[in-house]
Each structure stands twice: as structure tokens, then as C-alpha cells.
Amino acid sequence: MEIRKPILDKKSLKKVVFDETALTELDGVLVDGGALEIIHAAEIKITSSILNAVSFQSLLVEEMSIIDSFLNAANFAGATINRIYLERTVISKSRLQGTQFMNCLAREVLIEKSKCGESSFRYAKIKNTIFQDCDMENVDFLGAEMENIVFKNCSLKNSQFSHSKLKNVSFKESEINGIAIDKDSFGEITVNTGQAIYLASRLGLHIED
């Protein structure tokens, strides 16, 4: 599966300092490093930008949108985002451990080589998204609506997918031991043979030759 790439002109980006004064709206900018000292923000908009090695750690954000952007080595660990919208965005080599992505809407997103353990996407609506080479142990997707999703080379051990709606979701190249999932979540999912046997046993299906 391919996703649409961020739309931005890298040559025209304006380099700015990442601090509270530039936080309201980052549009068409390049940021190399920086951390926020505030602990609460009403709204953050990131559009057609590249952010390298920036930290939102432990930040509380009421509303956040990231569109047509690249975030490299970002740190969201422990952050709480009450409403987040992601579109045509790449998040790479980043820390998302324990991040609360509430009321999450996401489409055309690639999250790769990132640490996402213990994060929450409860009741998120996620479409056309790839999670690749990520640590996603104990991630909470309870009640999420997910369509056209690929988990590639990820560890999903003990992750929660109960009461979710899964349509064209592929787990076949990832580790799913301990995953919590119920029969009502089985819309259209792709698994390998070993995973099929494992999931069958989790649902009480005994296979005998």
C-alpha cells in the first residue's frame, strides 16, 4: 500500500526558532531542534513544514493539526492531545510513548521507526495509514475505526483492539502475541498462517486434524 506524500516545497521553507512565540501556527517552515517550556497550549497548527528533533514532551494541547509535514526525531512522550488531525504526514524516528491521541482523525499518514508503546488511539478514526518498524506494545486502539491500515514489522504485543472496526487491516508482517481483539472487530483483516491459528485460539476455536 502507498500513501500520499506531504505536499510542500522544501526549497522555499523558512527556518525559524521553535518556541512559544512561534507556536500558534507553523506554516512553510523548517525547524531544527527545540523544546517547549510551557505545559499547556490551546492550539497548534503545523502545515507544509519540516520539524527536526523538536520536543512536545508532557505537553497538554487542546487541539492540534499536522498537515503536509515531516516530523523527524520528535518527542511527544507523555503528551496529551485532546483533539488531533493528521493528514499527508510522515512521523519518523520519534518518541510517542504514553501519548494520549484523543479524538484522533488521521489519513494518509506514515509512522515509522518510532517508539509508540503505551500510547492511546481510543476511538480514533484512521484511514490509509502505515505503521512501519515501530514498537507498539500495549497500544490502545479500543473502539477505533481503521480502514486501509498496514502494520509492517511492528511489535503489537498486548495491544488493545476490542470493539474496534477493522476494514482492510494487515497484521501479517507484525508480532501480535497477547493482542486483545473480539470477533465483532473482524471486518477485513489480513494475517499469516501462524497468526490465524493464534487468533482462532484466542476466540475459543479449537483446530483439530
The 8-class DSSP code of residue 196 comes to H
Instruction: Give residue-wise pLDDT tens across range 127-138.
Output: 999 999 999 999
Q: Is residue 196 part of a domain?
A: yes
Neighbours of 66 (CB within 10 A): 26
Other beta carbons within 10 angstroms of residue 118's beta carbon come to 18
- Domain-located, residue 122: yes
The residue range of the domain holding 135 is 10-202
Q: Is residue 133 part of a domain?
A: yes
The per-residue DSSP string of 86-113 comes to: EEEEEEES-B-TT-EETTEEEEEEEEES
Please write the tens of the pLDDT for every residue from 4-42.
999 999 999 999 887 765 567 899 999 999 887 677 888
Averaged pLDDT for residues 148-164: 96
Report the half-sphere exposure of 204 (CA within 13 A, side-chain side): 2
CATH number at residue 130: 2.160.20.80
2 within domain boundaries: no
The total domain count for the chain is 1
Pick the range with the lowest mean pLDDT from 13-17, 106-110, 193-197: 193-197
Q: Which three cell numbers stand for residue 97?
A: 510513548
Does 207 fall in a domain? no
Residue 84 pLDDT? 96
What pLDDT, on the 0 to 100 scale, is given for residue 41? 83
d(CA 17, CA 132): 30
Let me know if residue 46 belongs to a domain: yes
Considering the domain boundaries, does residue 208 fall inside one? no
